[in-house]
Structure 1
Amino acid sequence: MSIPISVILEELKTTPTSVIPLLRSLHNKTLLQSLSKSEITHLTSRILNLAKSHQPYPQWCGINLIRVISSDYSILAGYGSIFLDQLLKLVENSQGKILVNCIDVIGFICSEIRGKPGLTREILTPKLGPIISLFIEKLHLAPFEILKNLVVAIRFHPTTFRPYGNKLSAKLVRLVNDVGFVNYPSKLKDVVYEALAVLPGIEKSEPEQKWSNDVFGLIGEIKDVVEVFQEFVHFKDDQDLIDNLRKLEKSGKTESKMFEDLNIDLNSPNSIFQLSNRIDISLGLLKSYLITESQFTVKVPLGTIITVCEVLTGLNLRMLRFKGDIRDEDVKSIIRSSIANIHHSVVLFLSDIVDVYKGALLLHFHSILGMLEVIIPMKGNKVSYDDLISNEGLIIDLLIFVAKYVSLVKHLDDNTQLLPFVDVSMILVEPRSKPQKEKEQKQDGQKKNKKQKKKGNAAALSDILSHEHLFLESIPASTVSAVRKFINVIIKTITLSPSQHYKVLRYLIIESINIRHINQQHSVPQELKQLLIDCVLFPGYDRVNILPIVSSILKGDQLLSVFNNPRFPPLPRYVRQEELVQQDLDEEEEDEEVEETNDIGSKKRKLDELMAEAGNPVQDNEPEPEQDDSKLFKKSKQEVNEVETNTLEEVVQDKVPVKETPKAVEEIVETVSASVPVETVPASSSTISHADDDSEEEGDEIEIPELDLGESSDEE
C-alpha cells in the first residue's frame, strides 16, 4: 500500500528519516496522476528545497525524488526546466556519488523529453548546449557516466553537438594516449572507443569520408607499430609477412595521427610492452568503428581488416629468428610476452566482430583458421605443454572464438584445420600435477649429510608416488566451460578421426561419472548431458557403440530410450483374422458378379452391332416391298419366335465365329430375342418350312410363305 500524499508532504517538510518508503509510494503513477495542482506545487517545492541543501544526504534524497516524479508527464511539462537548472547547479558544485547521481537523473529527464516535440522545443533544446558544455568540462570526474550520455546526445542531436565535437575529440585522444589507459576498466575503455567512433556523425558534409579516413588511419598506425619489431627479429624469414605489409601500404596514409610516438629503450625492457599496449588500443578503436551503428552508410574494408590480423599473427617466433643484437634472455622473454599479448588482442578483436558480420567473414574462413593455428605453441611436431598452460587465457579465448566461428556453418567436409584445436582442448582438460622443482644440491664431504638428504628426497618422492591425488591441480572452471562449448560445436560440424574421437569420448565419460559420484543427487549437468547425447547422435567414424554406456549414465532419458527400445505406435483397434478372411471373400464374390455382368453386357452390345450391320444393307440397297395382307397368313406368336431365332442363328454363324458352347449361345439368343421386334415379311420371298410339334401331333399342315433372306446373306 502506498502512503497518502498528505503523509508524504508532511515527511518532506524536513529531511526524511528514510526516503525509501516515499520513493516506493511515488512510483505509483496513479497517485501522481490524482494529485491536484496545489499538491503538485507543494510536492515539487519541498523536493527542490531538499536538492538545494548543502548536506549530501538531503541532496541525494532530492535528486532521487526528482527522478521519480519526472516520470509523470504533467509534472515534467510544468517543472522540467526548473529541475534541469537545479541539477546543473549540483553538477557544477559537487563530486563523487552526488555528481554521478545528478548526471544519471539529467540523462533520464532528457530521455523522457526526447521524442515529444513540444517538450523538446520548450525544454530540451534550450538546455542541451549548457548540458553538453558542462559534461565535457567535468569529464575527468565521472568519465563513464558522462561519456555514456554524450554518446546518446551525438546520435540524436548531431547538429547541436557540432560546436563541441573538436573539444571532446581532443580530450578523448589525450585520454587514449595516457600511459595507464590500457589498465583502465573495460567498460570505460569501451565507452571511450564508442565516443570516438560516433564523432564522425557530427560532420556537416561527407561523414562517411571522415569515418573511412579514421579507419585507414588506425590501420596505418598498426602497421607502423609492427614495423618496429624489425629491430628485434628478421622479417625476411617470413615472405608472407612482408607481402601483407606491402598490401597495407597501398591502403593509404592519413596526415593526422591519433597516437603519439613511442619511446622504446632496450635498457628498460619493460618499455617493449608499449608496443603490445598500442596494438591493443588500436584494435579496440578499430572494433568500435566496425561494430558501432551509424546514421550514414559506410563501406567496411573487411579484406583489409583480415590482412591486418594476418600481419599481427605473423609476428611469431616459430617462423622469425631473433637478430644477433638481441642476446639478453630477459629482453627475449619480454618480446615473447609482448607478442603473446598481441595475439590475444587479435583473438578478442575477431571474437567481437564475428558477432556482427557473421556470414560475411565466412569468405575468409580458411585464412582466419590458418592464421589462428599459428598461435598454438609448438615444440617440434607436438604442442608445447608448458607454453600452453602459461598462455591458458589466450588459448581459452581462441577456442571460444573458433567455436563461435565454426558454428556459423552446418557441416565441414575438410577437418584438417580444426584438428590442432581439438588436440589443444584435450590437453587443457587433462589432469595436472604440480611441477616438481629440481634443486641443485651441494655435495658435502660428510656421508651423514648425504644420507639425510637422500632420506629427505626419498620421503618427498614417496609422497608423490603414494598420494598422487594430493598433488593434482584443479582445472579452472572457465577452461572446462570453454572446452565443453568447443567440443559441442566440433562434434556436430566435422567428423573427427578415430583417435581424437576416442579421446573426446573418454574425457566425457570419465567426467560424467566423476560428477555423478560427487553430488548427492547423482545427476549430470545439462551441458555435459547434451554433450553425451550429441556423441550418440553424431558417432562419426567410431565403430564402437557408446549408447549402452551413455544410457547407464543418463538413466531415464527419453531420447536415448528411443534408441534403446525402438517401437512402433499401437494399432487403433484389434481386428480378428476371421473378419478379414470373410471380408476378402465377399469382395471376391462382388468382383466376380461385376465381371459376369460386364461380360454379358459386352456380348449384348456386340450382338446389337451385328444386327445393325446385318439390317442396314437391306434397307439401304433395296426398297422395302409393299405389304399385301391378303397373301399372308396370320402366324402365331410361337411361329414368329421360331423364325426369328433361325434368322439370328444364321447371322451369328455368318458374321461372328463364336467359340462358346452351344448352351451359352442359346442363352444369349433367348435373352436378346425377347427384345427384338417382329416385322412382317412379304409373300414373294422364298419360304422356310418349319414343322410345329403341336401341329404335327394334330395332323394339320400349314403352308408358310418363303422368306427372302438369301439375297442379303449373299451380298454380305
Structure 2
Amino acid sequence: MSSEPFPVTELAKRLESCDDSEFIAILKCLRSPAYVNEQLLKSELGLLVTKTLALLRSSHEIAIWRGCQTAVVICTYNPLVLCAHAGQLLAAIYSKLEQKVDYYSSSTPQTKVLLQTLVFALSSLMNLMRGKPSLSREGLVPKLKAIIPTLITLAQYEPRLTLPTLKILLYKNTTTFRPFANKFRVVLVNLIISEYEHFDKKTKQLLSDNFAYLHLIKLQGSAAEDEAQAHHKSYQDDNWRIGIFSVLSQFKPILDICGEILDLEQDNELQKLINSLTFTNNTKGSEASDFLSGLKLDMNYPITLLEITRRLNLLVDLLSSFLSLPTPYPVRIPLGTCISISEALLSMTRNFLPLRRDVRGDAELSSVIRDLLPQIQFSGIKLLSSISQTYGKLCLSMLPSILGSLELFIPLQQKSSKIDLDRCASLKSEMIGLFNLVNSFLPHMGHHMQEVDFFTKLVEVALHLTKDASTVDLVFNQQATNTLNNRKNLKKKQKKDNSSGSLSDLYTHPEKFKLESSDRLLCEVNHFLRGIISTWKVPSSQQLRILKYTISTAVQFKQQQGFIPKSLLELLRTEVLYPGDERVSILPLAVSLLKESSDEVFDILCHPRLPLSVIHHVKPLPEYVEESFEDEEEEEEEEKKDLVEEDTVAAAVSESLSHSAQEQAITTSFKSKQVVIEELTAVEPTRTTDIQEEPENDIIFKKREREEETTAPEELKRSKIISEATVTVVKQPIVTESKKVQVPATEENGASSDDDSEFEIPNIHLSDDEDDEDDSEE
C-alpha cells in the first residue's frame, strides 16, 4: 500500500468549491508533516499559497474566512511556508482588516464574525513571525507601522477583540509602538471614563493592563524635566514608578471623603496613616491620572455615594496591573505604601468608628452608608490579594498588621463584640474573597502566630456560611408580630383576591425555598479549614463542629451527586491526620464514605505496611551460639527429670522406715539423702538453694552422737517416723554450691516432740578427698 500523501495541488483546487465538512478534512490533511518538503515549496506549496491569497482577496465573506483559516494552518505546521510566504499572507490579511474597520459602522453580525477571524489570523501570524530575526526584520516590523493604527481604531468599537493583541505589541515591540502611544492613550482614557463599569471582568483587566504597559514608553506630552534634577542618574523604571505613584495619589482624596462620613478623630493612628499618603514629589511630570475627574457627591442624594465604590474599583484594578504585570526590566515597587493604603481602606468600619454627628440619620442615607462601607473595605482586600499572589513571602514581615486589619472586615453587632452572622451572610461574595486571601497567606505563616482570635472568628463565619439559607424564615418570624393586626382585620368582611397566587407552599414545603451554598464558597471554606486544622489546635467545640460539617456535607454530596469533591476529600484526610485535643478520629466514617473508591491515605492508615523497597536480611547464627542454645535446652530437661526422681526417692525412703529402731531409720534416711545429694551434685553442679549455710559438719556429728546415747531407750517406743525432705532449686548463672535439707519429724500421737527428737541434716560439701575417705571406711 502506498504511503504517499494526498497531492497538494488537488487540495488547493478544492479550497474554493468544497463544502464545510470537506474544508475541515482538507485542513487536517494540510497539518501532515509529509508536506514539509523543500522540493514541494516552489511547485505544489506555491500553488497552495496562491489559492490562499486568492481567497483572502475575495469579496465574499465566506471565502475570506476560509483564506484566514488556511493561512493560519499552513504557517503553523509548515515552517517552509512560514519563512517564504508569511509576509505576503500577513499583508493580505491586514489589507482586508483595514477595509472592514473603515466600514464598521455599517457592519452586520456576519461582518463582526469575520472581524474576529481577521484579528485572530493577524495575531497568530505575528506571533509566529516574532522572535525569528530575519523573518521579523523583513516581514513583520515594516508592516507593524500600518497594523498598529488599524488595531487602535478598532479598539474603540471592539476593545475585547483587539486589546490582547495591542498588549502583546506594547510589551514585545515597544520601540515600534512609540509613535502611536498618545493616540492609544486617548482611546484607553475614553473607554475607562465612559464605559468602564459596563465591561465584563476580562475586558476591565485588559484595559488596566494596557494602561500600565503604556508606561513602558515615556509619553511625549509629559512635562519637561527639572533642570535641577537633570544631573541625577535616571533609571529604566522611572516612568513605570511615576505611573504607580500617580495611581496611589488618588486614594487619599477618597479616604478624606470617608472622613466626612465616619468620625476618624476617634482613631489617631488612622489619621496619621492617612496623612502620610502624600506623593506629590513622585508624580511630577506625569499625566497618568489627570483624566480622572473629581467625584460629584451629595449627601442629599445618598445614591451618589456609590461613586466612591466605582472609583476605588478602578484605582485598585489599575494599581494591581502595575504591581503584577511582567516587565522587560526590573522595577521598584513601593510595597509598604500599597499595604498601608489597603490597611486604611479596611479601617473604614463602624465596628469601632462612629458616624459623624452632622450626618443625618434618615433611613435612606443610613442604608447607603451601611452598604458602602463594606465595599470600601473589600477594595482593600482585593489590593492585598493582588499583592499576595505576586509577592507572596515578601509580605511576611507586615503580616501581623495585615491580619489585624482583616479582622476589621468581620461585622460585629451594635454595641457588642459578637459577630453579626446575618450581615456576614449578606456579604457572602466578599467573604469568599477574604477566605481566598487568607488561604494565600496560610502556607507561609507557620505554627507560632499570635493572631488566633481572628482565625477563631473566621471559623465561626465559615461554618455559618456553609449552611443553606432559607428564604422563608423572615415570613415565619414576622407572622407572630402580624397576628394581632390580622385579628382586627378579620372582623371586616373581605373578598377573596383571586389575582394573587397561593402561599400554601411556604408553609407546607418550606425546605423547597432554600439557597444552597456555591461550589466556590465550599471550596474556599474547605481549603481554609484544612489549613487551620493542620496549623493550629482549634478549640474543642469548633473542632467537633468542623467534624460534623465535614461528615454531613460528604454524606449529602454522596447521596445527591454520587461523589465527594476534591476539597472535601482533602479536608477529610486532614481531620484524620490531625484529630486535635479531643483525639476523636473519624477514620471509620471516612473509610465507609470512600469504600467504593480507593484512597491511598486511608488505605495506608487502615492497613499499615512497610514499603516494598525495604528488604530485611536475616544472617545465620554462629555455630557456638546454636550449641549454647541446645545445651541450655538439655539442661532444663535434665533439671525437670532430677526433680521428679528426687520426689520419688524421698517418698520411697519415708515408706521404708522401720517402726522398731529409730537409729536404723535415721541411718537409712541419712544414706538415702546422701545418695540424692550425690546425684543432684553430679548432674547439676550449678544449682543452689536460697537457704543459709549450717555450722561445720564435725561439730554437728559429735553433738548428734551424744544425743543418740541419751535418747536411745525412748526412741525405741516410737512406732512411726515420717520424714519429709524439701529441696528448693534456683537456677543462677555461676555460683558456689550450698544446699540445705530439712527432715521434720512428727510423733505418732500428734503431740509436739521435744528438742531431742528434732533431726537436722547438714549441708554436705562433697569433694574428691571426702569420696576417698568414704571408700576407705567402707
TM-score bin, normalised by smaller chain: 0.7 to 0.9
Q: Which residue of 2 aligns with 1:141?
A: 157
Q: Tell me the residue number matched to 2:639.
A: none
Question: 1:418/1:576 Cα in 2 relative to 1: closer, same or farther (>3 Å)?
Answer: same
1:436 aligns with 2:474: yes
* 1:191 matched to 2:206: yes
Matched, 1:474 2:516: yes
- Give the aligned length: 579
Determine the structure 2 residue equivalent to 1:582: 626
Q: Which moved more, 1:117-126 or 1:245-254?
A: 245-254
Q: CA deviation at 1:201?
A: 2.0
Q: Which residue in 1 is equivalent to 2:397?
A: 363
1:8–1:235: structure 2 CA closer, same or farther, 3 Å change rule?
same
Check whether the contact 1:536–1:547 (CA below 8 A) recurs between aligned residues: yes
1 CA distance for matches of 2:534 and 2:444?
A: 12
Alpha-carbon shift at residue 571 of structure 1 (Å): 9.7
Give the alignment partner of residue 91 of structure 2, picking from 85, 90, 94.
85
The 3 A distance-change label for structure 1 pair 77 and 331 is: same
Which of 361, 379, 385 is the matching residue for 1:345? 379
Aligned equivalents of 1:13, 1:448: Cα separation in 2: 84
2:342–2:379 Cα contact (<8 Å) kept:
no
Structure 2 residue 174 is matched with structure 1 residue 168? no
Structure 1 residues 580 and 57, CA, compared in 2 at 3 Å: closer, same or farther?
A: farther
Q: How far 1:82 sits from its partner (Å)?
A: 2.2
Q: Does 1:419 align with 2:456?
A: yes
2:16–2:55: 8 Å Cα contact kept in structure 1?
no
User: Are the structure 2 counterparts of residues 581 and 327 from structure 1 closer, same or farther at C-alpha, using a change threshold of 3 Å?
Assistant: same
Query: Residues 576 and 586 of structure 2 are in contact (CA less than 8 Å); yes or no, is this contact kept in structure 1?
Result: yes
Shift of 1:232: 2.4
Farther-moved stretch of structure 1 (204-213 vs 296-305) = 204-213
CA displacement at 1:412 relative to structure 2: 3.4
Contact 2:309 2:372 in 1 (8 A): yes
Task: Tell me how far apart the structure 1 counterparts of residues 130 and 84 of structure 2 sit (CA, whole Å).
Answer: 16
Q: For structure 1, list consecutive stretches of 5 or more residues without a partner in the other structure.
A: 454-458, 589-716
How far residue 60 of structure 1 moved from its aligned partner, in angstroms, is: 0.7
Query: Which one of the candidate residues 63, 76, 79 is aligned to 1:58?
Result: 63
Matched residue type, 1:278: R
The letter of the residue matching 1:359 is K
Change (3 A) 1:190 1:519: closer
Q: Taking every aligned residue pair, what percent have the same amino acid on both sides?
A: 26
What CA distance in whole angstroms lies between the structure 2 residues aligned with 1:250 and 1:124? 42
Aligned pairs for 1:169-248 (under 5 A) are: 169-178=185-194, 180-203=195-218, 206-248=235-277
Superposition deviation, residue 90 in structure 1: 1.3
Mark the CA change 1:583 to 1:202 in structure 2 (over 3 Å): closer, same or farther: farther
Deviation at 1:277, TM superposition (A): 0.7
Once residues 203 and 209 of structure 2 are traced to their aligned partners in structure 1, the CA distance between those partners, rounded to angstroms, is 10
SS at match of 1:378: coil
Contact in 2 for aligned 1:110/1:124 (Cα 8 Å): yes
**One-letter amino acid of the counterpart of residue 78, structure 1:** A
Which amino acid in structure 2 is aligned with residue 58 of structure 1? Answer: A
Q: How far apart, in 2, do the equivalents of 1:14 and 1:83 lie? A: 21
Of 10-19 and 100-109, deviating more is 10-19
Decide which moves more: 132-141 or 250-259. 250-259
Q: How does 1:658-697 map to 2 (within 5 A)?
A: none
Quick one: structure 1 residues 446 and 144, their matched pair in 2 at CA, closer, same or farther if it must change by over 3 Å? Answer: closer
Deviation by residue 1:316-338 (Cα, 9 ceiling, x = unmatched)? 12233333233332222222322
**Inter-CA distance 416–156: structure 2 relative to 1 (3 Å threshold):** same
Question: How far apart are 1:579 and its partner, in Å?
Answer: 8.1
Q: Matched residues in 2 for 1:126 and 1:90: separation?
A: 18
| Distance in 1, Cα, partners of 2:491 & 2:432 | 50
> Which residue of 296, 310, 327 corresponds with 2:329?
296
TM-score by length of 2: 0.68
1:519 CA displacement: 5.3
CA offset digits 1:248-291 (Å, max 9, x no partner): 12674635334122222334433221111111110111111011
In the TM superposition, residue 535 of structure 1 has moved relative to its aligned partner by: 1.2
Mapping of residues 457-606 of structure 1, within 5 Å: 469-470=511-512, 472-518=514-560, 524-555=564-595, 559-560=601-602, 563=605, 582-584=626-628
Match among 134, 155, 160 for residue 118 of structure 1: 134
Q: Give me the whole-angstrom Cα distance separating, in 2, the residues matched to 1:250 and 1:6.
A: 67
Q: CA deviation at 1:51?
A: 1.4
Q: Distance in 2 between matches of 1:106 and 1:100?
A: 10
Q: Which secondary structure does the structure 1 equivalent of 2:439 belong to?
A: helix
Deviations 1:383-406 (A, max 9, x none): 212211111000111112111211
Match of 2:733 in 1: none
**Are 1:280 and 2:305 matched, yes or no?**
no
Alpha-carbon distance in structure 1 between the residues aligned to 2:118 and 2:435: 43
Residue 471 of structure 1 and its aligned partner are, at CA, apart by: 5.1
Quote how far apart the aligned CAs of 1:59 are. 1.2
Distance in 1 between residues matched to 2:401 and 2:72, nearest whole Å: 52
CA contact (8 A) 1:15 1:58 kept: no
In structure 1, C-alpha distance between the alignment counterparts of 2:203 and 2:513, rounded to whole Å: 41
Cα distance, 1:382–1:462 mapped onto 2, change above 3 Å: farther
Seen in structure 2, the aligned counterparts of structure 1 residues 80 and 393 have a Cα distance that, compared at 3 Å, is: same
Deviation at 1:16, TM superposition (A): 5.0
SS in 2 for 1:325: coil
Distance across 1 between alignment mates of 2:340 and 2:189: 26
CA 1:562–1:158: 2 relative to 1, 3 Å: closer
Instruction: String of CA shifts for 1:183-238, please: whole Å, max 9, x gaps.
Output: 31111111111112222223497441111111111111011122122332322123
1:398 to 413, 434, 456: 434
TM-score relative to the length of structure 1: 0.74
The C-alpha deviation readout for 1:338-394, integer Å capped at 9, x for no partner, is: 222222232233223212201101111111111111111111222212211111000
CA gap of 1:335–1:41, structure 2 versus 1, over 3 A, is same
Q: In structure 2, the residue corresponding to 1:37 is in which secondary structure?
A: coil
Q: What is the root-mean-square deviation in Å for CA atoms of aligned residues?
A: 3.4
Alpha-carbon distance in 2 for matches of 1:462, 1:130: 66
Task: Confirm or deny that 1:29 pairs with 2:29.
Answer: no
Residue number in structure 2 paired with 1:643: none
Structure 2 distance, partners of 1:519, 1:13, is 50
Other structure's SS at 1:260 match: coil
Which residue of the partner structure matches residue 343 of structure 2? Answer: 310
Aligned AA (1:117): P
- Aligned partners of 2:277 and 2:211: how far apart in 1? 23
Task: Return closer, same or farther for 1:531/1:113 CA change in 2, 3 Å cut-off.
Answer: same
What residue number does 2:352 align with? 319
Point out the more displaced range, 567-576 or 103-112. 567-576
TM-aligned CA distance change 1:471 to 1:171, over 3 Å: closer
- Deviation, structure 1 residue 549: 4.1
Give SS of 2:117's match.
helix
Matching residue's letter, 2:278: E
Counterpart code for 1:195: N
Q: Which amino acid aligns with 2:430?
A: L
Aligned to 2:223: none
Which string of whole-angstrom CA distances, capped at 9 and with x for unpartnered residues, describes residues 301-320 of structure 1? 11111100011111112233
